[in-house]
Amino acid sequence: MKKKVYYEHDIHTGTSIGLEYEKYLHQSQSKYQNIEIIYSGKYGNAMYLDGCFMLSERNQDYYHDKCISLVPSSVKNILIIGGGDYAIASKLATQREN
């Protein structure tokens, strides 16, 4: 069986990455970006925006933890723009309770 690979190529840096996947799950065009979801056995569901890899189920904790690490603990009010999966908001709320 031929493997399906989703490729992303950045013409500015000359780099390419590919992710083997089993199923192409979703594609839609919002007012601002093209949204694609694929399923990879190794990474779970993975999201691409405008053809660029954003995150997968396997690496989402790393992604969200890195975003949160940029916020000093002294900051009391935070505006999250985007954040459609609520993971950053949830992690910040849990972190601030402790």
2 with 29, same domain?
yes
Q: Are residues 45 and 80 in the same domain?
A: no
For tokens 């949204």, the residue is 35
State the total domains in the chain: 2
Domain containing residue 11: CATH number: 2.30.140.10
φ/ψ bin of 39: left (φ > 0), alpha (ψ from -120 to 50), beta (otherwise): beta
The one-digit pLDDT tens for each residue of the chain (98 residues) are 567 998 888 888 888 888 999 999 999 999 999 999 999 999 999 999 998 888 899 988 888 888 888 888 888 888 988 877 788 888 888 887 76
Q: Which domain holds residue 6?
A: 1-54
Q: Are 15 and 7 in contact (CB under 8 A)?
A: no
User: Do 37 and 1 reside in the same domain of the chain?
Assistant: yes
Q: State if pTM tops 0.85.
A: no
